[in-house]
């Protein structure tokens, strides 16, 4: 298993635990966050880019897979708002890779791992072309005017899904 922390910042030598802002986590225990390689495509966007990501999981029905993927070989999709295309083209990301031994699984569907101690990356991978990297990972990349319709619909499927940075999404249309 490979674990990564994705950042727009280069040159990070060590990751210190930070207190979580999420209400479902203990606010007194600092954490270093990482994502597993399988869910890494969910983070191959500029940091604040709102996105809906989903992938086939163990409980995904054949009907949902056929309905939500245009290719029979695809198993992961990332949807962004078209307004973010230029930012996607310009962004450079750094994938800080960690030894998995210091981490524990926090969320199996999202692929989140956490460590309570400082972590030093064992490698750094620079990604200059996010669109090409998503395609290299076999991800179906889609662009829409608004994420809210697809977000509402994907919640009703058997797919594993993740919504990121939705606070930066275009306002919901009524």
Rounded Cα distance, 81 and 94, in Å = 22
pLDDT (tens place) for every residue of the chain, 174 residues total: 999 999 999 999 999 999 998 899 999 999 999 999 999 999 999 999 999 999 999 999 999 999 999 998 899 999 999 999 999 999 999 999 999 999 999 999 999 999 999 999 999 999 999 999 999 999 999 999 999 999 999 999 999 999 999 999 999 887
Whether the CB-CB separation of 122 and 99 falls below 8 Å is answered with yes
* Interacting residues of 132 by C-beta distance below 8 A, sequence separation 6+: none
Domain spans of the chain, in order of start? 3-168
């Amino acid at each position: 298993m490979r674990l990564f922390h994705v950042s727009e910042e280069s040159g990070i030598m060590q990751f210190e635990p930070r207190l979580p802002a999420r209400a479902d986590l203990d606010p007194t225990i600092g954490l270093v966050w990482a994502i597993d390689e399988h869910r890494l495509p969910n983070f191959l966007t500029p940091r604040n880019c709102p996105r809906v990501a989903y992938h086939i999981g163990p409980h995904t029905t054949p009907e949902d897979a056929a309905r939500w993927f245009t290719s029979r070989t695809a198993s992961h999709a990332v949807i962004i708002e078209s307004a973010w295309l230029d930012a996607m083209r310009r962004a450079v990301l750094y994938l800080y890779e960690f030894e998995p031994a210091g981490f524990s699984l926090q969320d199996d569907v999202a692929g989140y791992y956490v460590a309570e101690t400082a972590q030093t990356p064992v490698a750094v991978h620079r990604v200059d072309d996010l669109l090409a990297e998503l395609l290299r990972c076999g991800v179906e990349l889609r662009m829409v005017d608004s994420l809210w319709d697809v977000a509402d619909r994907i919640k009703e499927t058997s797919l594993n899904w993740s919504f990121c940075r939705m606070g930066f999404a275009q306002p919901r249309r009524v």
